[in-house]
Amino acid sequence: MFPVPNPVRLLILGIGLALARVGLLDRERAVRIADLSWPRIVTGIARMSKNAVDVAMVGIASGTVAITGVGFAGPYWGLAFALGGGIAGGTIALVSQRFGADAMDELGLAVRSSALLTVVATLPVTAVFWLFPTELISVLSSDQGAIELGAAYLRIVGLGVPFAGLNLIGSRVLVGTDDAYTAMILRASGAVINIALNAVLIFGLDLGVEGAALGTVLSNVVVTGAFALGLSRGSLPGVGAFPVVVDPFGPFLDTETIRDLVKIGVPVMGRSLVWTAAEFPMLAILDSFGPDVVAAFVIVRRIWGLMNTPGWGFGLASSSLVGQALGKDDERTAEAYGNEVIRYAVATYLISAALVAVFARPIVLGFVDDPAAPAVPIAIDLVYVACLAVILQGVSGGSAGPLDASGDTRWTFGSQFVGMFLGSIPLIYIGSVTSLGLTGLYLAFLAETTIPAVLNYYRFKTGTWKAVSRSYRPKTAADD
């Protein structure tokens, strides 16, 4: 399986202990946050590395037009994570609170209902991608080469949408029950399998973008099977014991559980869809700048994904730990975890942003076969801007964790919507029609994280989320 990267744990723990030494974190909570977040960070690194390698392999094999085509397919593939991630947001809120209250029957019902909702929500998406890939890509570009390659990629990768959604459910179940490590093993192993498959399919079998799509589908099928087997048996050969056992033959439909999942999950889904939906006008506007700008944007988005991986860990650690504390009606500890995760995330982002800024040029060159390509200097400048923007992402994501855990997800949806549609996209458009030019794109990167950071942090400090959580806590906690 995937080798355990202890240096990542040591780095994350070291940052936390340093913050504890200067009084910014409680030492015990710092250790617990680190233990729960670092496996998810490794998962993010593995999966975002997979995405970056996909683009690099496709670019080397088929040129920048293939990068552009895959980039145009990206927002559609993002629907899998918007739909599955939205339901998974409800899953981790319900699972963590029920785990904290030791309400295992309710926990199992939440998991089964989440899986059912995911399948129902994602199968229509797969059908649309299979039937209308060319029409969908044509919405974003008039470049025939990019349309053909993007459509070929989208048609095949759409088959993996339900499995990608179910993987998110399985991951959130484990993180919500204090086992981010097993989730890391499974999902990071899936990323490694994906990279290996892509190397064979893209270069060995010369399948190009279709090979990249097929590798993504097959790796997601493998991981889904591993989650299903492990949760139903309580263990998985080669991985070990799972923290919970979920009866796969128990009831799937419960009105109250479904209602809570939808009520919590729809705003989370909306928040993810904000970015996915925003990519459509964003890429359409960028297309007017020319293919080099689009290629640079796609490259930097993959780099951004890697830079943003600490947020994966800290956000889910916050959701899990805050949710468990709320399940025990311990609002003071929940708030303490929320505050400390924000500080922890910002410090970690500062370090990662500094490292990426120093090595911006060689990182960008890893995506192209021609160092003199016009997209290279544009991408390098975008990387520098992304390094500033990602620090504010630590505030935004860290503040969103407690809100998600409490069920106060409508606010985080609203903040992301305002940041993208009232900040980022207008700035890109202004740049495309005025002398502002690419500066509009740079400002858009900053607006994308600055606005949600301000709004989410404000909501967290009001404490309203604690009152919201009381309506979602398990019956056993309420009865106690």
Confidence band of 387 (pLDDT split at 50, 70, 90) = very high
Q: Cα separation of 207 and 82, whole Å?
A: 28
Arithmetic mean of pLDDT, 337-354: 90
442 located within any domain: yes
pLDDT, residue 358, reads: 92
> What's at 99, amino acid-wise?
F
356 located within any domain: yes
How far from 35 is each of 30, 88, 91, 109, CA to CA, in Å? 9, 21, 21, 27
pLDDT, residue 478, reads: 43
pTM for the whole structure: 0.66
Q: How many CB atoms lie within 10 A of CB 159?
A: 18
- Which is more confident, 473 or 429? 429
pLDDT, residue 479, reads: 46
Nearest in space to 40 (alpha carbons), one of 81, 5, 86, 75: 5
E-assigned strands of 178-276? Answer: 235-236, 240-241
Chain segment 361-379, per-residue pLDDT in tens: 988 887 776 777 778 888 8
Arithmetic mean of pLDDT, 13-27: 90
**Above 50 in pLDDT, residue 443?**
yes
266 located within any domain: yes
Chain segment 278-335, per-residue pLDDT in tens: 777 887 788 788 878 888 888 888 888 778 888 778 877 887 788 778 878 888 888 8
SS3 readout for 360-417: HHHHHHCCCCCCCCCHHHHHHHHHHHHHHHHHHHHHHHHHHHHHHHHCCHHHHHHHHH
Mean pLDDT of the chain: 81
Nearest in space to 137 (alpha carbons), one of 278, 284, 274: 284
**Above 80 in pLDDT, residue 273?**
no
pLDDT, residue 196, reads: 86
Chain segment 62-117, per-residue pLDDT in tens: 666 667 777 777 778 777 677 777 777 777 777 777 776 666 777 877 888 888 88
Residues shown for the chain: 480
pLDDT, residue 453, reads: 93
1 located within any domain: no
- Which is more confident, 336 or 78? 336
335 located within any domain: yes
Chain segment 241-261, per-residue pLDDT in tens: 887 878 788 777 777 777 777
Chain segment 190-231, per-residue pLDDT in tens: 888 888 888 888 777 877 778 888 888 898 899 999 998 888
**Above 90 in pLDDT, residue 454?**
yes
**Above 70 in pLDDT, residue 6?**
no
**13: containing domain:** 6-479
**Above 80 in pLDDT, residue 161?**
yes
45 located within any domain: yes
pLDDT, residue 146, reads: 74
Structure tokens at 229: 């087997």
**Above 50 in pLDDT, residue 480?**
no
Chain segment 138-159, per-residue pLDDT in tens: 877 667 777 877 888 888 888 9
Chain segment 389-431, per-residue pLDDT in tens: 989 988 888 888 888 778 777 888 888 889 988 998 999 999 8
- Rounded to 5 degrees, what are φ and ψ at 256? -70, -40
Q: Which residues pair with 236 in a beta bridge?
A: 240
Nearest in space to 351 (alpha carbons), one of 389, 391, 385, 380: 391
How many structural domains is the chain composed of? 1
